[in-house]
Structure 1
Amino acid sequence: MKRRLKEMEDEAAALREMQAKVEKEMGSVQDPASAATSQANREEVDSRSIFVGNVDYSCTPEEVQQHFQSCGTVNRVTIRTDKYGQPKGYAYVEFLEAEAVQEALLLNESELHGRQLKVTAKRTNIPGMKQYRPCRSNPFMQPRDPFMAPYFFSPYGYGKVPRLRMATRYSPYY
């Protein structure tokens, strides 16, 4: 029994060493310097990428690549899909050169599969910087003043009010 316990402890120590080695190689330990490097790398990739809106749902990445091939060398085409695998109707195209983005912007309002594409430069998403656009039609979506009283939300849903019931009597025939 002691021999078996010793083998299990040795195996666990070997696994911990292998895990530390892999983490060191992969750089998964996030220090501020590597986070800044990854952010700079992301911004550099985004400067070479474009957003393509109004893409036909039956369009393939190869067709989008063929459409933008005249602008420069296409590195990657990503067509976003929902959780069921259906295309959302927009794509991202990454080029090898940053100059190709300016050429691709000239293809704004060009047609692919009979649909007019909307081509813009890809913006860099900064974590924690959520864009807030207040909704004018719904007062509940307006920015809140911390000194204001909170809004009352009905637990019964929109427009529903609780109905008072009469006390039911016991009936054995139901």
Structure 2
Amino acid sequence: MEGDDMDMIETENKQVELDDMKIRLKEMEEEATALRQMHAKVGNEMASKQDPAAGGSSLANREEVDSRSVFVGNVDYSCTPEEVQQHFQSCGTVNRVTIRTDKFGQPKGYAYVEFLQSEAVQEALHLNESELHGRQLKVTVKRTNVPGMKQHRPRRPNPFMVYQSRGAIIPPFLYSPYGYGKIPRFRMPMRYSPYY
């Protein structure tokens, strides 16, 4: 009798555990579907950003921002964005000041100033050669960088290099007695000449 009671209690405990596991499994499946939906949403947003048609709109947006921005050169290395903003505050409302830095965090010596109105750019150009921290600023209109428009200049062939074509060695145009690529040095004559 006691064994039957123990078996019943064990069966009930297993049934309760099984129900708990089913509830946890259902919750996990709901979380997984929510994560899949979020992942699909983010994937669609990323695909729309990489889409060429959408890329054209981002390029248009970038051009619109650049039409409201100026490039400021010869900025002192100790200048802060707040000081640059105060300097250009008379032109119009400054939206953002960006001082470019290198990989060590040191300023590169130039900045970009973005205004809220495009009319402020013409006013900012009047501040060309104005002084900030004792340095004359160079203010120009910011140009829009187009990706892939970097100029490629092919390298000139070295006239002193020995080229190999189809197994035959082609000699260089002229041999340099000083080694490849070295320019001959002009030396003083060996004997003494006081008037030379």
TM-score, normalising length: structure 2: 0.61
- Offset from partner CA, 1:91-121 (integer Å, 9 cap, x none): 0000011111111111111110001111110
2:67 equivalent among 12, 25, 47: 47
| Distance across 2 between alignment mates of 1:124 and 1:131 | 15
| Distance across 1 between alignment mates of 2:142 and 2:155 | 28
| Distance across 1 between alignment mates of 2:107 and 2:156 | 32
Question: Which entry has the higher C-alpha Rg, 1 or 2?
Answer: 2
Q: Structure 1 residues 141, 116: CA separation in 2 closer, same or farther (over 3 Å shift)? A: farther
Q: Structure 1 residues 141, 64: CA separation in 2 closer, same or farther (over 3 Å shift)? A: farther
Q: Per-residue deviation at 1:41? A: 0.4
Question: What is the one-letter code of the residue matched to 2:79?
Answer: C
Aligned to 2:46: 28
Aligned to 2:107: 87
Bigger Cα displacement from structure 2, 65-74 vs 31-40: 31-40
- Structure showing the higher helix proportion among its residues: 2
Question: What is the one-letter code of the residue matched to 2:106?
Answer: Q
Aligned to 1:104: 124
2:145 equivalent among 117, 125, 135: 125
Report matched runs for 1:55-94 at 5 Å. Answer: 55-94=75-114
- Offset from partner CA, 1:113-140 (integer Å, 9 cap, x none): 00111111000000000135x6xxxxx8
Q: Secondary structure at the match of 2:112?
A: strand
TM-score, normalising length: structure 1: 0.68
How many residue pairs align between the two structures? 138
- Offset from partner CA, 1:140-169 (integer Å, 9 cap, x none): 8459xxxxx79xxxxxxx98xxxxxxxxxx
Structure 1: unaligned runs, 5 residues or longer: 135-139, 144-148, 151-157, 160-174
Q: Secondary structure at the match of 1:101?
A: helix
Greater relative CO (CA pairs within 8 A, separation 6+): 1
| Distance across 1 between alignment mates of 2:156 and 2:96 | 40
Root mean square deviation, CA, Å: 2.8
Structure 2: unaligned runs, 5 residues or longer: 1-20, 158-162, 165-179, 182-196
**How many percent of aligned residue pairs carry the same amino acid?**
78
